[in-house]
Structure 1
Amino acid sequence: MKEVKIESKLFVFESLAELPSDVYDLMINAVTARNRAYAPYSNFQVGAALLLDNGEVITGNNQENASYPSGLCAERTAIYYAGSQYPNAKVVSMAITATAKTSPTNKPIPPCGACRQAMVEYELKQDLPIAIYFMGEMGAIAKSESVSNLLPFVFDKSVLF
């Protein structure tokens, strides 16, 4: 037996003011989407904004349902819309922000596992890393240079054959 060490590298910006202007604008789009989330059951609102290589910005937010598994996360709402409406465009970057209505979040909140899996599918399809920026309602913003960095054991089409 041998030990295998896996590492992920993140970059941390202390506030929105530290972000490059294009990423700042993308995060503001995510905040706007977050504020429109439909989350009456969890009271946990998430917004996502994608920048496509054609300059389009796509937003999404979480959409809950009384039948809990029927809802959809913000990240998947946005990336599936982008794939549907702009099938040949590549996703350059994604900004994600989340907060709980009951108590503000002040640390970076990463995408859930299901969203990471959906996002990595698009990253692999386009053969181009997607930069992911994520934050709570306020405070620091974490950056991952790719979805694969957040999901080191990628389940992809190669395991299906």
Structure 2
Amino acid sequence: FEALGHEPDVVHMHAHWQENGKHRDSGETFQGPDFTKDFHTFAVEWSPEKIVWFVDGVKRHELAGKSPKEPMYLLANMAVGGDYPGSPDASTPFPASFDIDYIRVYESTSAPTLEKGDPDKKKHKDNKKNKRKKQKRKRNRRVGAARRPR
């Protein structure tokens, strides 16, 4: 999420990443209430398949099929100037503050799934020995047989 001081009712929902040595980004803009008047809940669900942005519990944008494959991180800061949105001028309010009530990060308890064609997916063919071991373990579990610790 990015918010610019001169647009208090707009949030930009973007993902930024590197691909083949080039900066890539994709996102959407959401116009809502004046976000400076009260606290709001901003959330992101990020999985290998997609990134979904929520504002106050309502889904506002989804980026499917372009989820970055590199390690990512969360950044919460207040930046002034730079290429985006430009240098401060006489209309820029100072002092300025960026008030955060809390930040929570959760990790999914279910294992991520890889879709067909994913370059990170590894195909393994069980050899006959491994198949026999698996079948024996299944049989032992079905009848409740005790197994020796390994």
Q: TM-score, normalised by structure 2?
A: 0.30
Higher relative contact order (CA 8 A, sep 6+): 1
